[in-house]
Amino acid sequence: MSISEKDVLRVAHLARIRVSSDELEDYQEGLSGILSLVEQMHDCDTDGVEPMAHPQDIQLRLREDQATEPDQRDAMQESAPQVDEGLYLVPRVIE
């Protein structure tokens, strides 16, 4: 799949990336290659393939969840202008 210079400049604008005229052809080739790969992946038959959470079949070692710091919520909220039931109250900014 081919991508035009106009498309590259539009994507660059959306991504807030400055692309010089010297780099334009490289970006054009790179993005066309990515779109070609996506097209090839779209053509693959994935019926019956179970989705994976990770590309490798590994089991992570997990540690016990332990609190290592003392609960200082009340002390921290003493300096807040307004607090209600443990929540900081702030002025509404969106109406």
What percentage of the chain has pLDDT greater than the value 70? 99
| Phi, psi for residue 88 in degrees, rounded to 5 | -80, 130
| Phi, psi for residue 83 in degrees, rounded to 5 | -140, 140
Does residue 34 contact residue 40 with C-beta atoms inside 8 Å? no
CATH for 5-42, options being 1.10.20, 2.40.128, 1.10.1760, 1.20.1280: 1.10.20
Place of tokens 């053509």: 43
Least confident of 24-33, 47-56, 71-80, 82-91: 47-56
What SS3 class is residue 25? helix
Amino acid code (one letter) for 86: G
How does the average pLDDT of the chain come out, rounded?
90
Dihedral of alpha carbons 28, 31, 34, 40, sign: negative
Model confidence at 88: pLDDT above 80: yes
> What confidence tier does 67 reach under pLDDT thresholds 50, 70, 90?
confident
| pLDDT, tens digit, 9 for 90 and up, residues 37-48 | 999 999 999 899
Each domain of the chain, given as residue ranges in start order, spans 5-42
> What confidence tier does 53 reach under pLDDT thresholds 50, 70, 90?
confident
Q: Where are the alpha helices (DSSP H) in 44-94?
A: 73-77
